[in-house]
C-alpha cells in the first residue's frame, strides 16, 4: 500500500508575529512547526502502516527551503519517504492542491492520502477539497475516526451541532484529519538520527509543468487585530453591581 501525507510548515502557535510590508509576516526569529492537524494525518498513516505489511508512507509539502525541516520531523516520526516542491512564490490553495496532485500522480500508485483538515496559519479549509477534485477521488473532511478494510475506508466526521456523520469511501481517497482522530507520537532519538539520512526528493513548479502563477486568492492587506480593551471590574454588593453592569452594557458596550 502507498500512502501519501500532505503537510504544511506553519509558525509555532506560541510565536509572536508581526506584519512585514503589509502583506506578509516577519519571519525573523520565528520557530516553524508541522501544522498540528497534519501531525494527526501523519500519525494515522503510521498506524495503518503498522497494521498492513509492505506499506510505504510518503510525506509531501510545498514551500520554501525551510520546509525541509517539517519533512525531517515527519520522517523522524516514522514516515519512509519525502517530497519537497520547493518554491518561494506565494501560491493559493488551488495552486498548492494542483501541484500536490500532479506530484502524487507522477509517483504512480496511491491508495490513501491523509492531510490535516486545515492549516493553523490561514485556517482556509480548502486544500484537501481542491486536492481530491484534482485527483478525481472522494474526500471526507473533519475526520475524527478512521478504519480501513478490504480497500474501503470507513470514517466518522463531526458536522454542525456536534452531530456525527459516518461515511464509507472506496480507495483511493483523501482524508482530512481533525483533532481527536489520534494522539500524534513524539519522534524518538533513533528516528531523528535516521531521518537525517533519508534523501528528500526535490521538485519545482516547473517540474510539474506549472508555469504562470494564476492565484485566485490575493492578499490585499495583512494586519494584527486591535488590542482588546482592559476588562472592567464592578465592585460592591450584588444589587448595585447588577444595576451598574446593566448600565455599562447599555451605555458603554451598547449591546442592550
Q: What pLDDT is recorded for position 208?
A: 93
Which pTM does this prediction carry? Answer: 0.86
* Angstrom distance (rounded) from CA 63 to CA 70: 10
CB 178 within 8 A of CB 38: no
Q: What pLDDT is recorded for position 27?
A: 75
Which residues are 81's β-sheet partners? 58
Q: What pLDDT is recorded for position 217?
A: 78
Q: What is the DSSP-derived secondary structure letter of residue 171?
A: S
Kindly give the confidence (pLDDT) of every residue in the chain, 256 residues in length, as a single tens digit, with 9 standing for 90 and above: 999 999 999 998 887 777 877 778 777 888 899 999 999 999 999 999 999 999 999 999 999 999 999 999 999 999 999 999 999 888 899 999 999 999 999 998 999 999 999 888 888 889 999 999 999 999 999 999 999 998 899 999 988 888 899 999 999 999 999 999 999 999 999 999 999 999 999 999 999 999 888 888 787 888 777 877 777 788 888 888 888 888 888 888 777 7
- Count Cβ atoms below 10 Å from residue 35 Cβ, excluding itself: 21
* Angstrom distance (rounded) from CA 157 to CA 178: 9
| All domains of the chain in start order, with CATH | 2-203 (3.40.50.620), 227-256 (no CATH)
End-to-end CA distance of the chain: 60
Q: What pLDDT is recorded for position 200?
A: 97
Cell triple for residue 9? 510548515
Assign 127 to helix, strand or coil.
helix
| Radius of gyration, CA atoms only, the chain | 22
Q: What pLDDT is recorded for position 198?
A: 96
Amino acid at each position: 500500500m502507498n500512502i501519501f501525507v500532505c503537510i504544511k510548515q506553519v509558525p509555532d502557535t506560541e510565536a509572536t508575529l508581526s506584519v512585514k510590508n503589509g502583506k506578509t509576516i516577519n519571519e525573523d526569529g520565528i520557530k516553524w512547526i508541522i501544522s498540528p492537524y497534519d501531525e494527526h494525518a501523519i500519525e494515522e498513516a503510521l498506524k495503518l502502516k503498522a497494521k498492513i505489511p509492505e506499506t510505504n508512507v510518503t510525506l509531501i509539502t510545498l514551500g520554501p527551503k525551510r520546509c525541509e525541516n517539517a519533512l525531517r520531523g515527519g520522517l523522524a516520526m516514522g514516515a519512509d519517504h519525502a517530497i519537497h516542491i520547493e518554491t518561494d512564490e506565494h501560491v493559493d490553495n488551488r495552486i498548492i492542491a494542483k501541484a500536490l496532485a500532479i506530484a502524487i500522480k507522477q509517483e504512480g500508485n496511491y491508495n490513501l492520502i491523509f492531510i490535516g483538515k486545515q492549516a493553523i496559519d490561514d485556517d482556509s479549509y480548502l486544500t484537501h477539497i481542491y486536492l481530491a477534485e484534482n485527483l478525481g477521488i472522494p474526500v471526507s473532511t473533519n475526520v475524527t475516526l478512521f478504519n480501513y478494510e478490504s480497500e474501503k475506508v470507513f470514517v466518522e466526521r463531526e458536522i454542525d451541532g456536534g452531530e456525527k456523520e459516518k461515511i464509507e469511501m472506496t480507495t483511493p481517497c483523501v482524508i482530512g484529519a481533525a483533532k481527536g482522530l489520534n494522539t500524534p507520537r513524539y519522534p524518538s532519538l533513533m528516528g531523528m538520527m535516521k531521518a537525517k539520512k533519508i534523501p528528500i526528493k526535490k521538485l519545482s513548479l516547473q517540474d510539474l509543468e506549472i508555469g504562470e502563477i494564476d492565484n485566485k486568492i490575493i492578499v490585499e492587506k495583512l494586519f494584527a487585530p486591535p488590542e482588546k480593551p482592559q476588562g472592567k471590574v464592578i465592585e460592591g454588593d450584588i444589587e448595585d453591581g447588577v444595576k451598574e453592569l446593566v448600565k455599562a452594557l447599555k451605555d458603554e458596550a451598547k449591546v442592550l
